[in-house]
Amino acid sequence: MKKLSFFAVVVFAALSMSSCTKDRTCSCTDSTTSTEPGYTAQSSSSVTTFKKVKTSDADLWCGSNTSTSNYDVWDNTVSPPAKKTYIRTETNTCTLK
């Protein structure tokens, strides 16, 4: 009987210490903007479902970020052609449900 009780306590302890895994949904909106004249801002959205994961793991995969980069465009309408530098910003905003 002592062995059975000990086994039951060990199983209960192991189960109570394990993290809860369940399906998690990550909803993201991506947008791109630029300082270039005439640039049309772009955006899109997506939903991803992670099956049977811990919240901490899903948080790692469902992250938001912003990146900024410079890019050059040659203006051939002037003589001599001139290089113009513009800034592109890409933003990814995600929420975990």
Residue 4 pLDDT > 80, yes or no?
Answer: no
Average pLDDT, the chain: 85
pTM: 0.65
Given this model, what pLDDT does residue 89 score?
97
Query: Would you say residue 9 has pLDDT above 70?
Result: no
Q: What ranges in the chain are assigned the alpha helix state H?
A: 2-17, 55-61
Domain segments of the chain: what residues?
19-96
User: Measuring CA to CA, which residue among 83, 44, 81, 46 is closest to residue 62?
Assistant: 46
**DSSP state at residue 64:** -
